[in-house]
Chain A
C-alpha cells in the first residue's frame, strides 16, 4: 500500500513543506545535504583510511600485507578501549587527560598482583577495573563538588597516577609476564576461528535489516510513515560485503585476533547503551545543555560521575590489554603518545570535543586510523620523534575539522 492510498495522512506527514526523502536516491540526497551542512559523520574516517592506505602502501607494500593488518588489529584493541572511555567524557564536553597514566597504572597493578603476588587473573582484572572506577569517582566528585574543570582535575591525576605506577613497579621498573599464560597468549596469539569471524561479519547487516523490518511494522501499526526497506537492505548489503571481504583478507594471514573481537563487542555494547537507553539519552542531553537537562529532572551530577567512572574503567581495561600485548608491565606503559592517540581516535571518529555529539563507533574507526598511521610510520623506520610530531599534527587536523563542522552546523541549524 502506497502512502497516497491513505485518506487520513500519516501522523508525521501532515506538513507539506517538508521533502520526505524516500528510497535509495532520497537517502543519497539526504546524506549529501547532511554532509554539506557540516554533519560529517564517519566520512572523514573513510577518506582518511583510504589516503593512508594509498600513501603507505606506495611507500612500503608490506603495509597492506594481511599479517601486518592482523598485527595492527592486535595493537588497536588496547588504545581502542581507552578511546571508548574518552568518547563518554567527550560527549559531556568534559575531558580526561589521565587515561594514559590510568592504563599504565592498570598494567602495573596487573603485574604486581598477578605475577608478584600470584592472584588469579579472574580476581586481578576486576580489581584493576575497580581501581579505575574509583579514580573516575574521584574525578567526578571533584567536578561536581568543587566545580573543578575536568582538564585540571585529570591533569593532576595524570601525574599522581604515574607516580603510583612508578611506586608500584619499584626500583626494577618492570615486571615480565609469562609467555605461556592465558593473558599473554590472548594479547599476542589467540585468533578467532574462521567460521566465527565470518559469522560475526554477517551480524551487523542482519541486525540492520531485522531492526528496520521491526521498526517498519511498529510504525505502520502506529500510523506513522515507514521508510521502506530499500535503504536498510542496501546499507546492510554494502556493510556485509565489506566486512566479509575484510575477514577473508585477514584470514589470508593469521585471522581476526580475539582481542580485537572483544573490543568490538564492547563497542557494540556501549553503542546500544548510548543510543537506546535512558542513560545514553541523558548523556547527550547533559552534553548539549546541562541546565536544560537538570530542569528536565535528570540528575546531572550522577550522569557526570558515571561518565568519568566509565572512562577510567575502560582506560584500566585498556591497560590490562596493553600489558597482555607487551607481556610486561613497565614504567613506559601508558606514557608517550597513548593519551593523545586515544583522544585523537575519538575525535577523528567523529565525537565532538564540544559535547553532545558522538558515538561509540567513533572509537573503533578512529583507532583504526591512528593505528594505521602509527603502524605505517613504524614500517618506514621513522624515529618516535617524527611519529610524535605527525600524531600531534593529525590530532590538530581532526580538531580543526571538528570546529569547522560545528560552525557549519550552527549556521545550518543542526546544533
Chain B
C-alpha cells in the first residue's frame, strides 16, 4: 500500500446503485458508505442481494444504474482486474479457485512473482507466511486445490485476498465452512486489517460473529436498504429488520420454544 488512510476517511460511496438481471431486480437504489478502519457487516436473507452487491464492487457485474465514488473520485470497476488494481479484494462466496492448480498458484494467480521466470520459492514462502497468519491447517501447498477440504479452500481464498494488501477487503461468508479455531483467526484477522486502517465488508449469516466484529450493520432486504444499525442492536431487532416484520418465523419459533419450556416446567411441578 502506498499510503495509509486516516481512520474514518471515506473510501467508498455508493448512491442509487441498481442491478437488474433481466426481469429480476437484484439490487435497487442501494446506498452504502465504507470508511477506513471500519468493519461493515452486510446481512440479509438468502437472495437479498448481498453477493450481487459485492460482485458489483469487485468488477464482476456492472451496475445497471447508480454511481460509485472511490477515494473521492467517481469510479467504474469494469473488470475484476481493475477492482483488484485499485485496491478492492474479495473472497467470493463460491471462492473462485482453480481446482487444477496448487495452492501457491491459486494464491498468486494473476499476480505471479517474476512473470518471465516464475519465482516458485519466493511464492511458496509467502504462501506459508500468509497461511500461518490464518492458523491454516493445510498439509501441502503443492497439492491441487481439488484435494483440499471445503474449509481449507476457504482459507486459501481468504489468504489470497490479503496478498495484494488491499484498501478494502470484502468477505462473502468467509467463515461458513471454517472450524472454531479458524473462525476465531478470521475474526482476529478482520480486526487486524481494520486496525491497519483498511475498510472491511463482511457478509455473514452468523449474527454472533457479525455483532462481535462489526462497527456498523447494514441490512439488505429484497434488494433494498432496510436500515443501518450499530453493533449494540438487539438480536430481535436485527432479525426483524432482516425478515421485514417483528412477527416472523424466527420469533414464532423462539416463542414456541419458550412455551414448551413453560409446559415442561408446569408438568414437572
Give the residues in chain B near A285, CB-CB below 8 Å.
Answer: 98, 101, 105, 109-110
A12 & B98 in contact (Cβ 8 Å cutoff): no
Contact present for A291 and B139 (CB under 8 Å): no
Whether B121 contacts A219 by the Cβ 8 Å rule is yes
Residue contact A415 to B100, C-beta cutoff 8 Å: yes
Q: Are B98 and A288 in contact (CB under 8 A)?
A: yes
> Complex Cα distance A289/B94, Å?
12
Per-residue interface assignment for chain A, residues 244 to 274, with 1 indicating a CB less than 8 Å from any chain B CB and 0 otherwise? 0000000000000000000000000000000
Q: Which of B78-86, B176-184, B240-248 contacts A (4 or more CB under 8 A)?
A: B78-86
Are B117 and A276 neighbours in the complex by a CB distance under 8 Å?
yes
Residue B209 is within 8 A (CB to CB) of chain A in the complex:
no
Contact A281 B92 (CB under 8 A): no
A278 x B80 contact (CB < 8 A): no
Task: Please determine whether B121 and A415 come into contact, CB atoms closer than 8 angstroms.
Answer: no
A278→B114 CA distance, assembly (Å):
8
Residue from the list A222, A223, A281 in contact with B112, Cβ < 8 A = A281
Tell me the smallest distance from the CB of A37 to a CB of chain B, in Å.
9
B146 touches A413 (CB 8 A): yes
Interfacial residues of chain A within 279-329, with CB under 8 A of chain B in the complex = 279, 281-282, 284-285, 287-289, 291-299
The one of B112, B125, B146 that contacts A278, using a Cβ cutoff of 8 Å: B112
Q: Cβ of A295 and Cβ of B125 under 8 Å apart?
A: no
Does A222 contact B122, Cβ atoms closer than 8 Å?
yes
> B80 to A297, Cβ gap below 8 A?
yes
Secondary structure dominating the interface of B:
loop
Given A292-B96, A415-B146: A12 and B112 interface contact (C-beta under 8 Å): no
Which residues of B153-178 are within 8 A (CB) of A?
160
Partner of B128, one of A11, A278, A295, A414: A11
Establish whether residues A296 and B80, one from each chain, have CB atoms under 8 Å apart when the complex forms.
yes
A279 to B125, CA, bound (A): 22
List, in ascending order, chain A residues with CB within 8 A of B122's CB.
Answer: 222
Chain B contact residue count (CB 8 A cutoff): 43
List residues of chain B with CB within 8 A of the CB of A384: none
Q: Is B45 on the interface with A (CB-CB < 8 A)?
A: no
| B116 on the A face (CB < 8 A) | yes
Q: For residue A17, which residue of chain B has the nearest CB?
A: B139
Q: B80 contacts A222, CB within 8 Å? A: no
| Given A12-B141, A288-B99, A295-B60, A282:B117 Cβ within 8 A | no
A277 with B115: CB separation less than 8 A: yes
- In the complex, what residues of B have CB within 8 A of residue A297's CB? 79-81, 84-85, 110-111
User: Residues of B contacting A293 with CB < 8 Å?
Assistant: 98, 109-110
A279 to B109, CA, bound (A): 11
Interface: B217 (CB within 8 A)? no
- Closest beta carbon of chain B to A4's beta carbon, Å: 19
Contact B144 A281, beta carbon cutoff 8 Å? no
Residues of B111-163 contacting chain A, CB below 8 A:
111-112, 115-118, 120-122, 124-125, 128-129, 137-141, 144-148, 160
A143 CB–B CB distance under 8 Å: no
Task: Give min CB distance, B229 to chain A, whole Å.
Answer: 31
Q: How far is the CB of B38 from chain A (nearest CB, A)?
A: 25
CB contacts (< 8 Å) of A223 on chain B: these are 125
* Contacts A276-B118, A296-B111 known; 7 new A-B pairs at CB < 8 A: A222-B121, A281-B112, A282-B110, A292-B109, A295-B92, A299-B79, A356-B98
Tell me the B residues contacting A by CB distance below 8 Å.
Answer: 58, 60, 79-81, 84-85, 90, 92, 95-101, 105, 109-112, 115-118, 120-122, 124-125, 128-129, 137-141, 144-148, 160
Interfacial residues, chain A to chain B (CB-CB below 8 A)? 11-12, 15, 17-18, 215, 218-219, 222-224, 276-279, 281-282, 284-285, 287-289, 291-299, 356-357, 409-410, 412-415
Q: 9 nearest interchain CB pairs?
A: A297-B81, A415-B146, A288-B100, A278-B115, A296-B110, A297-B110, A288-B98, A413-B147, A292-B96
